A = this chain, B = another copy of it.
């Protein structure tokens, strides 16, 4: 930077991918950014901005007229996202500058709720009318392609705009002259309604694995398209959401969001967990007399609770992923539960043998307990361990299945409940067994 002529600078810039230029923006000062903007031109700049999450900050820096042009080239979803961040007067000034077509487009997309498909669609698609010749279809494609570059699938509508089907661009390109458009139109092409909830249809759309999905309004008329990019973004978001929920966050967080927003996302679960934890504490409190007689047994409480929790989380995660990917018959669900219990038993058996030996060695050799005491304590801990593990595998599988059945998102609801159930089961098993076995039977 500095010594090269603008023409050479521009040529050099063009050897970088938009994504790389976008990455570089944050390292530039604002006057350097402005020089870069004018070298890129607004169309290319809008492509660069599509690759960074800090886009709104950069758009803010631009003069009003340029903002409008950037918003013209930017994806509708991103343009709306920017507009929503503005004050009402700023937004109206900017919208007034736009041409009618763009205005209608943005207000259409903006008319849908955030969780409806329509809010994520684009009007960047190619549409042709049924019954025309291959040549006409091709020239209609060429005419629309300059404005709409999402061309790999072409949508066919009838004269009323009703969605008929889709043509794979490959088929159009290799079709011989005189071929009927009908012959290459796929009428079984999947579609989605603009008012469908994203959560409800995303799994179905994912299964189709198509490049783009046409979006219809309630009159079955084509009104938009969901691009492959947007679709994978939605799938990505959904998985990120599940990930966040497993970690006890109510939604995914972003690096630059304000403290208050992050707190809000985390606090609800923490309060629920605290309430449940206090419940567990009162159960432990009920076993105070057992602990008073055999203080050494509290050493292994955290071990048994943690291991039961770990195994339960494994079963939970597996079950949630399976539920997300497939529709299960009752028999398959039963098999899943059985399998989880079997794995729990097999792993639990191995783990309890290991812990039996180590706990015995610890008590006998390190703590200097008499050998029969050490054997009894160690057995009590390891028997509780295997029982707690098997029960946790069971709850970790059954609870999300039940939640799914009563139409509650298993990823949201089952985390804290399973932790609590497992804690309770483990505590009752452990202290109960210690009470019956060690105090009741062997009078330690």
Q: Which A residues have a C-beta under 8 Å from some C-beta of B?
A: 14-17, 19, 23, 50-51, 141-142, 145-146, 149, 151-152, 168-170, 173-174, 187-190, 207-209, 211, 228-229, 232, 235-236, 239-240, 242-244, 246-249, 252-253, 255, 259, 262-263, 266-267, 269-271, 273-274, 277-278, 280-282, 284-285, 288, 291-292, 295-296, 298-303, 305-307, 310-311, 313-314, 316-318, 321-322, 326-327, 332, 336, 339, 342-343, 346-347, 350-351, 354-355, 358-359, 362, 366-367, 419, 423, 427
Contacts and interface: CB of A to CB of B under 8 A. Distances in A.
A314 to B, nearest CB: 5
Given A141-B173, A235-B236, A278 B359 contact: yes
A282 B300 CA distance: 8
Contact of A247 (B271, B277, B316): B316
Contact of A274 (B146, B307, B342): B307
A170 to B, nearest CB: 4
Given A209-B229, A247-B317, A362-B278, A291 B302 contact: no
Contacts of A247: 246, 313-314, 316-318
B151 A263 contact: no
Given A232-B232, A281-B299, A285-B367, 18 more contacts: A14-B187, A23-B327, A50-B209, A151-B170, A236-B239, A247-B314, A248-B310, A248-B313, A263-B343, A266-B347, A270-B311, A271-B354, A274-B307, A274-B354, A277-B306, A278-B358, A284-B301, A288-B296
A104 to B, nearest CB: 23
Nearest to A255: B322
Given A284-B302, A322-B255, A351 B271 contact: yes
Contacts of A170: 145, 149, 151
A14 to B, nearest CB: 6
A349 to B, nearest CB: 11
27 contacts: A17-B190, A17-B208, A146-B174, A151-B152, A152-B169, A228-B228, A239-B240, A243-B317, A243-B321, A244-B317, A247-B314, A247-B316, A249-B314, A253-B321, A259-B339, A270-B310, A270-B311, A274-B355, A280-B302, A281-B299, A284-B298, A285-B299, A292-B292, A298-B298, A302-B305, A302-B427, A306-B423
Contacts of A273: 306-307, 310
Contacts of A243: 239, 242-243, 246, 317, 321
Contacts of A235: 232, 236
- Number of this chain's copies in the assembly equals 2
B255 A277 contact: no
Given A149-B168, A151-B152, A174-B146, A281 B303 contact: yes
A277 B358 CA distance: 12
A227 B242 CA distance: 26
Contacts of A270: 307, 310-311, 347, 351
